[in-house]
C-alpha cells in the first residue's frame, strides 16, 4: 500500500508539472525582461570564464612556486624568491615572450581586477602576520643600537633614492606626475627591509638568537614600522595636494596614537581573558573583523589598507598564545594559496622586456647600486658607530639590504598610484630580487657560523 501511494504521488506531481509547462509556454515576456535575461546570461558566462582563468593561474603559480621554492632552498636561498620568480615566469616576461597565446589564455587582461582582489586580501592577511611577529621587547632591549641602525637604514637610502630621482625623472617618470611624489616614492621604496624574509634567513643561518641576529631583527622591525609610516605620508602626498597630504598625515598620526594608546591596552586586558577560555571561532571572527576594520580605516584615511592590518597585528601582545595561535590557523592558506595570487598579479605587471638597450640596463644597475649603497652603507656605518666590529657591521648591513616580498608590495602600491611606470616597476623588481639573492651568499662569504654570529677573525698575514 505505501508503494502504491508513493507511485500515485509521483504521477500527480508529473501531471501538475506538465500542466504548468503548457500554461507557461503560452506566456510572453516584455522586451526589458528579454534584454535583462540576455545580459544576465552574458555576465554569468563572463564570470565563469574569469573564474576558470583565475583558478588555473593559481594552480600553475602554486605548483611552479613550490617547485621553484624547493630549488632555491637547495641553493640556500629564501624560498620566497622562487615563488616570486614563478609568478614572473607566467607573466609577459617569460611565458608571454615564449608562448604569447598560452599566456593570454592563462592570464587575460580582464582577469587582472579579480586576481588583484585575491592578491590584496593575501597581502592584507600577510601583513597582519608580520605585525603579530613583531616583538616590541626586542626593540626595548636593544633600543639605542636598533634605533640608530634602523634610522640610518631609512634616512640614507631615502636621500640617495631621492637624489637618483633627479636622473630617473626625465626618462622614466609617468606623464603628469610631479617630481615631489616621484622622488618621495623612490626614496621610500629604497628604504624597505623585508623583515619576514630577514627572519627566515637568520633562522636558516641559525643566527636568530645570536647578538647580531637580535640586533638585525630589532633594527628591521623598527625600520619596517618607520618605513610604513613614511610610505603612508608618500601615499598622502601622491593622492592629494599639500593641504590634503597634511590632513592625511594628521589623521594617520591620530590613527596610530589611538591604536597604541586605546586599542593596545584594551587588547592587553582582553587577550588573557580569551586565553583562559580558549581561542574559539567566535573570538577568531571578532579579531579578524577588527583587523579588517583597521585596514578599512587606514584605506579610508588615504594610506594603504596594509598599514592598518600590520598595525593591528603589532598591537596584539606578542608573547600571548593568541598571537602564536592565530598565524597557525591561517598562515598556510595565506602563504600557499593567497600570496601566490599576489605573485601572479605582480608577474602580470612585470615586463622585463621593457628594459631594453644598454641605457635602460645602466639605469637598472644604478638602481641596484644606490639601493645597496644606501641600505648597506647606512646600516653598516651606524653599527660601526654603535661599537660593533667592521665584520659584524658589514654582516648587519648585508642583512638590512634584504628586500624580498615587502619591496614588491610597496612597488605595487606605487604602480597602482601611477607614481611609477611599468618600465621603472620592472627595474625595481629586478632590484628587489637582486638585493635579496645576494644576502645569503655574502653572509657565508663573511664567515657567518650559527649562533655565534661570526666565526673568529683570522690573524692577518
**DSSP codes joined into one string, 114-174:** HHHHHHHHHHHHHHHHHHHH--HHHHHHTHHHHHHHHHHHHHHHHHHHHHHHHHHHHHHSP
d(CA 250, CA 244): 10
Helix (H), strand (E) at residue 378: helix 378-385
Mean pLDDT of 237-259: 74
Q: What is the pLDDT of residues 320-342, one digit of tens each?
A: 888 888 888 887 888 788 888 88
Q: Tell me, what's the pLDDT at 208? A: 60
Q: How many domains is the chain built from?
A: 1
Answer yes or no: is 216 within a domain: yes
Q: Tell me, what's the pLDDT at 307? A: 78
Q: How confident is the model at residue 265 (pLDDT cuts 50, 70, 90)?
A: very high
Q: For 297, how many CA atoms within 13 A lie in the half-sphere containing its CB?
A: 19
Averaged pLDDT of the chain: 80
Q: What is the CATH number of the domain that holds 191?
A: 1.20.1530.20
- Please determine, for residue 134, whether its predicted confidence score (pLDDT) is greater than 80: no
Answer yes or no: is 302 within a domain: yes
d(CA 168, CA 35): 52
Nearest in space to 155 (alpha carbons), one of 384, 381, 442: 381
Which range has the top average pLDDT, 117-121, 155-159, 193-197, 275-279?
A: 155-159
Mean pLDDT of 119-144: 74
Helix (H), strand (E) at residue 255: helix 242-258
Answer yes or no: is 26 within a domain: no
Mean pLDDT of 223-243: 69
Answer yes or no: is 282 within a domain: yes
- Please determine, for residue 347, whether its predicted confidence score (pLDDT) is greater than 50: yes
Answer yes or no: is 25 within a domain: no
Mean pLDDT of 288-301: 90
What would the DSSP string read from start to end of 25-92?
A: HT----HHHHHHHHHHHHHHHHHHHHHHHHHHHHHHHHHHHHHHHHHHHHTTS-HHHHHHHHHHHTST
Q: What is the pLDDT of residues 74-94, one digit of tens each?
A: 887 777 778 888 888 888 888
- Cβ–Cβ < 8 Å for 349, 412: yes
Residues in contact with 8: Cβ distance below 8 Å, sequence separation at least 6, in sequence order: none
E strand spans, 268-351: none
Answer yes or no: is 461 within a domain: no
DSSP-derived 3-state class of residue 78? coil
Answer yes or no: is 353 within a domain: yes
Position of cell 615566469? 89
What are the angstrom distances between the C-alpha of 359 and each of 131, 172, 373, 423, 441? 40, 12, 21, 13, 29
Angle (nearest 5°) at CA 191 between 331 and 186 = 110
Residues in contact with 396: Cβ distance below 8 Å, sequence separation at least 6, in sequence order: 149, 212, 215, 216, 219, 379, 380, 383, 388
d(CA 176, CA 178): 6
Nearest in space to 403 (alpha carbons), one of 68, 80, 156, 118: 80
Q: How far is CA 269 from the centre of its chain?
A: 30
Burial class (CB in 10 A: 0-12, 13-18, 19+), 356: exposed
- Please determine, for residue 138, whether its predicted confidence score (pLDDT) is greater than 60: no
- Please determine, for residue 453, whether its predicted confidence score (pLDDT) is greater than 60: no
- Please determine, for residue 319, whether its predicted confidence score (pLDDT) is greater than 90: no
Answer yes or no: is 28 within a domain: no
Q: Which of 165-174, 248-257, 283-292, 390-399 has the lowest mean pLDDT?
A: 248-257
Mean pLDDT of 333-357: 82
Q: At what angle do helices 404-417 and 422-437 cross, to 10 degrees?
A: 170
DSSP-derived 3-state class of residue 183? helix
- Please determine, for residue 449, whether its predicted confidence score (pLDDT) is greater than 60: no
Q: Which residue has the higher pLDDT, 218 or 182?
A: 182
The per-residue b/e assignment along 10-23, b for 16 or more CB within 10 angstroms, e otherwise, is eeeeeeeeeeeeee
User: Where in the sequence is the domain holding 355, given as residue range(s)?
Assistant: 51-452
- Please determine, for residue 122, whether its predicted confidence score (pLDDT) is greater than 70: yes
Work out the percent of the chain whose per-residue pLDDT is above 70. Answer: 84
Mean pLDDT of 235-255: 71
Which range has the top average pLDDT, 2-11, 33-42, 208-217, 293-302?
A: 293-302
Residues in contact with 62: Cβ distance below 8 Å, sequence separation at least 6, in sequence order: 336, 337, 340
- Please determine, for residue 160, whether its predicted confidence score (pLDDT) is greater than 90: yes
Q: What is the pLDDT of residues 37-56, one digit of tens each?
A: 555 555 566 667 778 877 88
d(CA 138, CA 154): 19
Amino acid at each position: 500500500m505505501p508503494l502504491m501511494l508513493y507511485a500515485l504521488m509521483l504521477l500527480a506531481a508529473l501531471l501538475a508539472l506538465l500542466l504548468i509547462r503548457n500554461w507557461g509556454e503560452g506566456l510572453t515576456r516584455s522586451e526589458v525582461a528579454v534584454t535583462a535575461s540576455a545580459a544576465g546570461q552574458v555576465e554569468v558566462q563572463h564570470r565563469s570564464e574569469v573564474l576558470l582563468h583565475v583558478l588555473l593561474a593559481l594552480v600553475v603559480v602554486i605548483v611552479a612556486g613550490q617547485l621553484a621554492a624547493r630549488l632555491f632552498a637547495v641553493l640556500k636561498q629564501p624560498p620566497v624568491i622562487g615563488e616570486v620568480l614563478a609568478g614572473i615566469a607566467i607573466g609577459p616576461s617569460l611565458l608571454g615572450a615564449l608562448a604569447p597565446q598560452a599566456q593570454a589564455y592563462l592570464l587575460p587582461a580582464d582577469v587582472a581586477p579579480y586576481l588583484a582582489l585575491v592578491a590584496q586580501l593575501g597581502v592584507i592577511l600577510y601583513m597582519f602576520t608580520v605585525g603579530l611577529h613583531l616583538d616590541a621587547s626586542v626593540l626595548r632591549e636593544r633600543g639605542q643600537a636598533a634605533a640608530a641602525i634602523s634610522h640610518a637604514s631609512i634616512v640614507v637610502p631615502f636621500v640617495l633614492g631621492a637624489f637618483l630621482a633627479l636622473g630617473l625623472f626625465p626618462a622614466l617618470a609617468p606623464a603628469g606626475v610631479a617630481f615631489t611624489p616621484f622622488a618621495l616614492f623612490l626614496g621610500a621604496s629604497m628604504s624597505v627591509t623585508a623583515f619576514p624574509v630577514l627572519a627566515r634567513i637568520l633562522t636558516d643561518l641559525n643566527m636568530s638568537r645570536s647578538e647580531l641576529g637580535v640586533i638585525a631583527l630589532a633594527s628591521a622591525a623598527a625600520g619596517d614600522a618607520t618605513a610604513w609610516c613614511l610610505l603612508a605620508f608618500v601615499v598622502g602626498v601622491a593622492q592629494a595636494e599639500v593641504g590634503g597630504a597634511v590632513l592625511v598625515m594628521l589623521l594617520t598620526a591620530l590613527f596610530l596614537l589611538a591604536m597604541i594608546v586605546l586599542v593596545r591596552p584594551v587588547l592587553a586586558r582582553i587577550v588573557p581573558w580569551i586565553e583562559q577560555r580558549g581561542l574559539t571561532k567566535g573570538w577568531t571572527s571578532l579579531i579578524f573583523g577588527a583587523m579588517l576594520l583597521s585596514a578599512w580605516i587606514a584605506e579610508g584615511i588615504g594610506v594603504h589598507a596594509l598599514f592598518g592590518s600590520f598595525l593591528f597585528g603589532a598591537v596584539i601582545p606578542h608573547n600571548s598564545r593568541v598571537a602564536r595561535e592565530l598565524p597557525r590557523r591561517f598562515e598556510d592558506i595565506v602563504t600557499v594559496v593567497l600570496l601566490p595570487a599576489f605573485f601572479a598579479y605582480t608577474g602580470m605587471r612585470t615586463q622585463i622586456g621593457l628594459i631594453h638597450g644598454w641605457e635602460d640596463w645602466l639605469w637598472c644597475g644604478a638602481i641596484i647600486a644606490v639601493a645597496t649603497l644606501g641600505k648597506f652603507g647606512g646600516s653598516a656605518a651606524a653599527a660601526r658607530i654603535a661599537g660593533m666590529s667592521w665584520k659584524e657591521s658589514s654582516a648587519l648591513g648585508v642583512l638590512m639590504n634584504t628586500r624580498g616580498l615587502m619591496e614588491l608590495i610597496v612597488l605595487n602600491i606605487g604602480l597602482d598610484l601611477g607614481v611609477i611606470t611599468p618600465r621603472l616597476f620592472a627595474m625595481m623588481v629586478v632590484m628587489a630580487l637582486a638585493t635579496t639573492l645576494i644576502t645569503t651568499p655574502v653572509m657565508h662569504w663573511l664567515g657567518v657560523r650559527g649562533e655565534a654570529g661570526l666565526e673568529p677573525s683570522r690573524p692577518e698575514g
